[in-house]
């Protein structure tokens, strides 16, 4: 199955964990509101680091979505792994196995994010057991 839509995102910066400042990591909260085939919001956390060469960086994140997908209510966790290698980006986002609740139990899938002109779009390829 395939879901598409847009989301708005806020990424306020937060201090890193005590005694990890020397690692020079960035830490941000994730606040998203989804429209389209996903209706709801998510909260999460991101850690990022910059490379020593311009255009190189990476981030990892976890976010928990709550709302509806294909009219079915529940929640699930998305895991992010993003790399920028001298300007070439790769992004891997997938549903954390067995994280879905409610009518979304059994959900699996991968998400892509596209940003153009400041607008964030998502494309979500997923599978979901048939409704009882």
State the architecture of 2-16+31-127 in CATH terms.
Beta Barrel (2.40)
User: What is residue 22's DSSP assignment?
Assistant: G
**pTM score of the predicted model:** 0.93
pLDDT single digits (tens) 29-78: 999 999 999 999 999 999 999 999 999 999 999 999 999 999 999 999 99
* DSSP string covering 91-110: EEEEEPTT---GGGTT-EEE
């Amino acid at each position: 199955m395939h879901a598409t839509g847009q989301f708005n995102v806020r990424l306020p910066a937060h201090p890193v964990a005590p005694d990890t400042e020397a690692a020079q990591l960035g830490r941000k909260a994730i606040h998203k509101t989804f429209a389209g085939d996903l209706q709801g919001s998510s909260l999460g956390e991101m850690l990022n680091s910059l490379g020593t060469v311009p255009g190189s960086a990476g981030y990892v994140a976890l976010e928990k979505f709550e709302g509806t997908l294909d009219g079915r209510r529940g929640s699930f966790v998305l895991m992010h792994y993003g790399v920028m290698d001298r300007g070439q980006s790769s992004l891997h986002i997938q549903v954390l196995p067995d994280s879905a609740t409610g009518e979304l139990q059994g959900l699996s899938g991968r998400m892509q994010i596209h940003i153009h002109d400041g607008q964030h779009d998502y494309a979500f390829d997923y599978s979901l057991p048939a409704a009882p």
